[in-house]
């Protein structure tokens, strides 16, 4: 059964604007499925998997192949492994600048696929695809989504055991095969250990000294590892919100494992009952909320914390409004005194407490609301 994705309309729009459209996102998040469906509907598309030798052989002379199929949409999957194609794409597009000719799929950010931004500037539009978002699978119970995460093969698995097996193999393949194929020569066991340490630090401020000492590595090496994981869509770092006030503020970013299912797998949490009793419970909810919000709203995002610990989990700058988000994994959420002190400093236009409640959104004060993830997304959409 095919589940429609929010990005589909955006892809169609971009194909009318750019000769080349790049869709970037983590491996196995559904990029190929979306595009195969799109080009099969048009009946004028060709899909090539650049990790398949038979497909790769068709591009021995890429210019010849592209010119032979210039009336078709050509999709090139896993483009980051064959960056030398960018030069051919540029010359073909410049000879016949027709929009919607190529779709590129990649499992690394455009910064990591450097040659695309250098060679194809002005010819390419970038879109990001995440694993399933909650509002794409609204019938899925929250505990299942939270526990398994949004990767299709994990979320739609027959049971938790099958989901766990899939996620374990996903992580193993990622660190042992995908990262080395990007030309990054780091032992898989070391990457796995570092990623597990990041999972234990999920939702905390990034302490490079602590990470470096635990791994017996230098600060620059730790920073390099974090960049790799961010640019392959596994980690997300959120910078601090800075105000011109006298109070001393925390300046290090916070770090999150983007998919809750991958987070739980790294920490060996196999079901919701285990999560309820785990120290990561609150931080796991915080990460889930933040990922759902930021995947739906492409806007500047920060956290706020003073040196004395007054904190707000997320601060959004959305449509010229400052929005404060506090994540509480409780059925009866309350703000702490520290949260109220932080709100006095931030002075947001609206504040939302996001918790796993079953009831509709309700109002505590004129600009202070309590809601679950779907109702918060709906309210934020009305503000944007």
Ranges for all domains in the chain classified under CATH 3.40.50.300 = 8-128
What's the whole-number average pLDDT of the chain?
Answer: 92
Report the pLDDT averaged over residues 238-267.
88
3-state class of 303 per DSSP?
strand
Q: For 38-75, write each residue's pLDDT tens digit.
A: 887 666 799 999 989 999 999 999 999 999 998 899 99
H or E element at residue 352: strand 350-354
Please answer whether residues 184 and 166 qualify as being in contact, where contact means their C-beta atoms are separated by less than 8 angstroms: no
Strands 254-257 and 301-305: unpaired
DSSP per-residue letters across 145-159? HHHH-S-HHHHTSSS
Report whether pLDDT(370) > 80. yes
- The sheet with strand 362-365 has its strands ordered as 301-305, 311-318, 321-327, 350-354, 368-371, 362-365
Q: For 67-84, write each residue's pLDDT tens digit.
A: 999 889 999 999 888 888
Report whether pLDDT(117) > 60. no
Question: Distance (Å, rounded) from C-alpha 377 to C-alpha 216?
Answer: 42
The mean-pLDDT minimum among 13-17, 111-115, 168-172, 269-273 falls in: 111-115
Both tokens assigned to 167: 């996620």
Strands 311-318 and 20-24: unpaired
Report the pLDDT averaged over residues 151-176.
96
pLDDT number for residue 43: 65
DSSP state of 73: E
With pLDDT > 70 as the criterion, what percentage of the chain qualifies? 96
pLDDT number for residue 245: 65
Which residues, including other chains, have CB under 8 Å from residue 367's CB and lie 6 or more apart?
Answer: 348, 349, 350, 351
Q: For 90-105, write each residue's pLDDT tens digit.
A: 999 999 889 999 999 9
With pLDDT > 90 as the criterion, what percentage of the chain qualifies? 73
H or E element at residue 48: strand 45-49
User: Please, which residues bridge with residue 312 across strands?
Assistant: 304
- Among 181, 178, 183, smallest CA distance to 195 is for 178
The mean-pLDDT minimum among 125-139, 234-248, 345-359 falls in: 234-248
CATH architecture of 8-128: 3-Layer(aba) Sandwich (3.40)
pLDDT number for residue 42: 66
Report the pLDDT averaged over residues 95-122.
82
pLDDT number for residue 39: 85
pLDDT number for residue 247: 65
Report whether pLDDT(316) > 80. yes
Higher-pLDDT residue of 108 and 367 is 367
pLDDT number for residue 116: 59
Helices marked H in 235-309 — which ranges? Answer: 260-266, 272-276, 281-296
């Amino acid at each position: 059964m095919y589940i429609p994705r929010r990005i589909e309309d955006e892809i169609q729009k971009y194909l009318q604007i750019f000769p080349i459209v790049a869709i970037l996102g983590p491996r196995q998040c559904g990029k190929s499925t979306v595009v195969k469906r799109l080009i099969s509907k048009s009946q004028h598309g060709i899909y090539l998997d650049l990790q398949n030798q038979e497909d790769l052989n068709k591009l021995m002379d890429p210019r010849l192949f592209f010119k032979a199929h210039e009336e078709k949409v050509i999709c090139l999957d896993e483009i980051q492994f064959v960056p030398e194609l960018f030069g051919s794409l540029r010359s073909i597009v410049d000879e016949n600048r027709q929009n919607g000719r190529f779709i590129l799929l990649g499992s690394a950010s455009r910064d990591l696929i450097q040659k695309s931004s250098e060679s194809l500037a002005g010819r390419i539009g970038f879109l990001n695809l995440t694993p399933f978002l909650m509002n794409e699978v609204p019938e899925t119970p929250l505990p299942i989504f939270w526990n398994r995460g949004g990767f299709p093969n994990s979320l739609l698995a027959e049971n938790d055991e099958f989901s766990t097996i899939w996620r374990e193999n996903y992580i193993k393949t990622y660190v042992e095969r995908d990262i080395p194929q990007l030309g990054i020569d780091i032992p898989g066991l070391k990457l796995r250990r570092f990623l597990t340490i990041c999972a234990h630090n999920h939702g905390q401020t990034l302490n490079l000294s602590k990470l470096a000492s635990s791994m017996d590595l230098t600060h620059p090496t730790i920073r390099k590892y974090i960049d790799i994981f961010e640019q392959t869509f596994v980690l997300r770092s959120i910078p601090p919100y800075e105000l011109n006030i006298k109070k001393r503020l925390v300046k290090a970013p916070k770090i999150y494992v983007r998919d809750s299912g991958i987070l739980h797998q790294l920490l060996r949490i196999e079901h919701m009952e285990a999560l309820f009793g785990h120290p990561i419970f609150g931080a796991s909810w915080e990460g889930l909320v933040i990922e759902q919000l930021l995947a739906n709203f492409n806007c500047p995002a920060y956290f706020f914390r003073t040196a004395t610990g007054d904190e707000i989990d997320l601060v959004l700058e959305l449509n010229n409004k400052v929005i404060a988000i506090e994540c509480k994994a409780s059925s009866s959420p309350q703000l702490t005194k520290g949260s109220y002190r932080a709100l006095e400093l931030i002075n947001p236009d609206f504040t939302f407490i996001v918790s796993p409640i079953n009831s509709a959104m309700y109002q505590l004060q004129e600009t202070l609301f309590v809601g679950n993830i779907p109702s918060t997304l709906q309210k934020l959409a009305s503000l944007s």
